[in-house]
Amino acid sequence: MPGTISKKLINTKFEANVEFDADIIDIRVIETIKNRIFNIIEEDKKLEKPVFLFIHEKTINRLAHFLSGAIKRSVAIGIAGETASGKSTVTHDIIETIIGFQKKYNLEPLITRVNTDDYYYDRSDMVKAAGSFAEFAKNYDLDVPEAFELSLLKQHIEQLVLGNPVWLPKYDMKGTAIRYDAHTFAIPTQIIITEGLFTLTNQIKDAFDFCVYVDVSHKAQKERFFKRAEERNLGDAAIDVYKNATSKAEIHIKPSAKNADIIINGEASRQDYQNTAGKFLEILEYVHFSNTITK
């Protein structure tokens, strides 16, 4: 396992209180989907760097109900991990694979992305008072959950899941600390996906149907971070930024892995991320676009 995150797979019965449409449920379809998911996981284990490090059996049950259409509302997926863990890459590859699927069948948009980083509080007045973002950052910690308006993020996710469009904020990452509220109009789609450092913290985890944690080894994380720091011209400040980010992760991010339904290997190949997402979409094809199954 890349990092120090560890979980034991526990056999758990499907939760009885999950919302579903009893009129359209076919137990045979559910069982077929579950078997296909188990096959995906077994095939994944054969990879040099498997995509899945952990997935709970009750998660497989819930996935099967969503994929079958038994649960008819939108699904909310939260993806978290430390800085340079690969969470943005995983999210991007999932989205691109789904967009390819929707184009194949000429479907309406299937996925809406909500970025946790856009929910930083506006601190532009503090940046101006400090004279620069660098001076501001010396006395303001951006690597803690309190730097984000997570309550608003949770509200927006819940509204999208309910089928209501929302206006999303946009945070300027170029050093102004400005947050533009009501910046992007987001329509509800079948999948709502959110990615960020604190996506699985206790303040917001309950907004998601599936909580995903991306794990990475310290060595790979460090290499990625300093490569990125060089690209962003952080110079000598990179060392202090890295130390702060990793120390705060021990307090705020790593513990949130306990909330994960799925733990993903942040060091698997991008091709394998895409292939794995594609295999789940093949299940959708089989159930919803094939004449070989009786519903």
The DSSP result for the chain, as a single string, is --SS--------PPPTT----TTT--HHHHHHHHHHHHHHHHHHHTSSS-SEEEE-HHHHHHHHHHHHTSS-S-EEEEEEE-TTSSHHHHHHHHHHHHHHHHHHTTPSP-EEEEEGGGGBPP-HHHHHHHSSHHHHHHSS-SSSGGGB-HHHHHHHHHHHHTT--EEEEEE-TTTT--EEEEEEEE---SEEEEESTTTTSTTTGGG-SEEEEEE--HHHHHHHHHHHHHHTT-TTHHHHHHHHHHHHHHHHTGGGGGG-SEEEETTS-HHHHHHHHHHHHHHHHHHHS-SSS--
Amino acid identity, position 238: A
Q: What is the pLDDT of residue 1?
A: 54
Q: What is the pLDDT of residue 25?
A: 58
From first to last of its 295 residues, the chain has per-residue pLDDT tens of 566 444 443 333 233 334 444 445 578 999 999 999 999 999 999 999 999 999 998 999 999 999 999 999 999 999 999 999 999 999 999 999 999 999 999 999 999 999 999 999 999 999 999 998 888 888 888 899 999 999 999 999 999 999 999 999 999 988 899 999 999 999 999 999 999 999 999 999 999 999 999 999 999 999 999 998 887 676 777 888 899 999 999 999 999 999 999 999 999 999 999 999 999 999 999 998 876 554 4
Question: Which pair of tokens denotes residue 174?
Answer: 């170029």
> What are the φ and ψ backbone dihedral angles of 281, each rounded to 5 degrees?
-70, -30
Crossing angle of helices 270-288 and 57-68, in 10° steps, is 50
Q: Please state, in angstroms and rounded to a whole number, the distance separating the CA atoms of residues 33 and 111.
A: 21
Dihedral sign computed on CA atoms, order 151, 155, 156, 158: positive
Q: Please state, in angstroms and rounded to a whole number, the distance separating the CA atoms of residues 160 and 109.
A: 14
Q: Please state, in angstroms and rounded to a whole number, the distance separating the CA atoms of residues 169 and 121.
A: 10
Question: Which pair of tokens denotes residue 222?
Answer: 């460090």
Please report, for residues 58, 73, 150, the alpha-carbon distance to residue 92 in angstroms, rounded to integers and kept in the order given. Answer: 26, 23, 22
User: With 0-12 CB in 10 A as exposed, 13-18 as middle and 19+ as buried, what is 279?
Assistant: middle
C-beta neighbour count of 157 within 10 angstroms: 24
Residue/partner pairs of 232-238 with CB below 8 Å, 24 or more apart:
237/134
Is CATH 3.40.630.30 correct for 25-115+189-284? no
For the entire predicted model, the pTM comes to 0.89
Q: Please state, in angstroms and rounded to a whole number, the distance separating the CA atoms of residues 186 and 17.
A: 29
